A and B are shown apart, each in its own frame.
Chain A
């Protein structure tokens, strides 16, 4: 298991009509590894994330995931776009998570926080009400939400709480890979710090692999061991996060790094 990547992306291309916005991206992601994808708006980073997460069909290239094997069998990389829609759906709600920039896109705003958190378990066939509530309460606590708020709807929560609720909702099935699209932008800095600290701790404790799209280099430095810099649909530079930030080689990476105001 350890000798095989969790995810293998090869020469991925995405287009909207005639306009190609992801132009040949390849990378491997290993279990427990966090990869940051950085670049400015329009660089293709969110489209790349969606294509890898089976949310946007690419125009060319492959995305393979080491599907959790049946007992005894070896895990093998399987092309996610060669799977049936049903297989992809199972993957997306068990072994994967997707944290949206806007919590409203990732939560059901009209049902309780507890129902939001336990939805994936119910989809997997768990029916015991008491057990579901117990696990939901446990996860609310892990993301620092008072379990007394379990029956409240997310639209009564603050932005930071909603984002933490979204994380609990995704992690309750102990996925191995989580996709995050700008998970901290739009939050106050103090709320951001809390969320980042939590994500850092959870990825380590659960040995989660993650792909984090962000325009914030500080988020990349804090969360990710590896980084890809995108510009105009290409990966212009990729490598160790601290090496890219402290010794950027490509003119565009140098521009990004030098454009940040140090606090």
Chain B
């Protein structure tokens, strides 16, 4: 991989929450944050809680709106899109083809079986307007991922709402890795996993890096961080 143009370039990013219902309380949770992520590297955001690590990931995914600064992301066609100015449709397209996000929590959909939750990204329509895979093949692929992440077969047909935290997290990981995008944002992907599954997730992250996926992650476990991260960015408390 000799690709040296960034997948993500955040510059001077600021996030301020204004809580109108709490007497206009102002919270500055991220100040003048900059980050450049190249293909194949895994950047760890480190620092204690409350430094804005998760906020930085949510800003990069377009889940939070930046108050200042720019966030350029490389789209599937190679152009850079500033997501702080992009319209909702452009962000939806970036999420389908350029950026994935794994949070600690799975947002469950009522009635949908675990195997279908995992297969769903393969059934989304590609740029040609056709589903990326036909549904039997997508389910077979989802089954391989569930197996690899040690989800017992007896759970595959059940909606994950009643699963344990660790099981839900693994469903989330399978759903994100089943179709890797060039940039991956990971918020504590191993937080509630046992050592065996943690080792599997480390393998997955390293394999993604080897394919050229750029990763930004929050890893509290120092062993996980040492195994997957190529460098670390220390987040500091926003000065008042």
Residues of A within 8 A of B (CB): 2, 30, 32-33, 193-194, 196-197, 200, 204, 207, 222, 225-226, 239-240, 242-243, 246-247, 249-251, 254-255, 258
A239→B111 contact, CB < 8 A: no
Q: How far is the CB of A190 from chain B (nearest CB, A)?
A: 9
Residue numbers in B under 8 Å from A200 (CB-CB): 109
How far does the alpha carbon of A8 sit from the alpha carbon of B151 in the complex, in Å? Answer: 46
Report Cα–Cα, A225/B91, bound state, in Å.
Answer: 10
Known contacts A207-B125, A247-B64, A254-B19; decide if A240 and B111 are in contact (CB<8 Å): no
Contact of A240 with B64 in the complex, beta carbons under 8 Å: no
Q: With A and B bound together, what is the CA distance between A161 and B6 in angstroms?
A: 52
Whether, in the assembled complex, B62 has its beta carbon less than 8 Å from a beta carbon of chain A, the answer is: yes
Residues of B24-69 at the interface with A, using a CB-CB cut-off of 8 Å, are: 58, 62-65
A-B contact pairs, 11 of them (CB 8 A): A193-B111, A222-B109, A226-B89, A239-B88, A247-B58, A247-B65, A250-B20, A251-B20, A254-B20, A255-B21, A258-B21
Interface centre among B110, B124, B125 (most CB of A within 10 A): B110
Cross-interface CB contact of A30 among B64, B65, B89, cutoff 8 Å: B89
State the majority secondary structure of interface residues on B: loop
**Total A-B pairs in contact (CB under 8 Å)?**
54
Is B88 touching A240 in the complex (CB atoms < 8 A)? yes
B residues whose Cβ falls under 8 Å from a Cβ of A = 17-21, 58, 62-65, 88-89, 91-92, 109-112, 123-125, 129
Q: Are B111 and A243 in contact (CB under 8 A)?
A: no
B135 to chain A, nearest CB (A): 10
Alpha-carbon distance A73/B185, docked complex (angstroms): 44
Q: Which residues of B contact A255 (CB under 8 A)?
A: 20-21
Please determine whether A197 and B109 come into contact, CB atoms closer than 8 angstroms.
yes
**B63 and A242 contacting across the interface, CB-CB below 8 Å:** yes
> How many angstroms from the CA of A243 to the CA of B64 in the assembled complex?
6
Query: Can you add 6 more A-B contacts, CB < 8 Å, to A249-B65, A251-B21, A255-B20?
Result: A32-B125, A194-B110, A197-B110, A197-B111, A239-B88, A246-B63
Contact A225-B64, Cβ < 8 Å, known A246-B58, A251-B21, A254-B19: no
Task: Give bound CA distance, A225 to B88, whole Å.
Answer: 8
Minimum Cβ distance to chain A for residue B227 (Å): 31
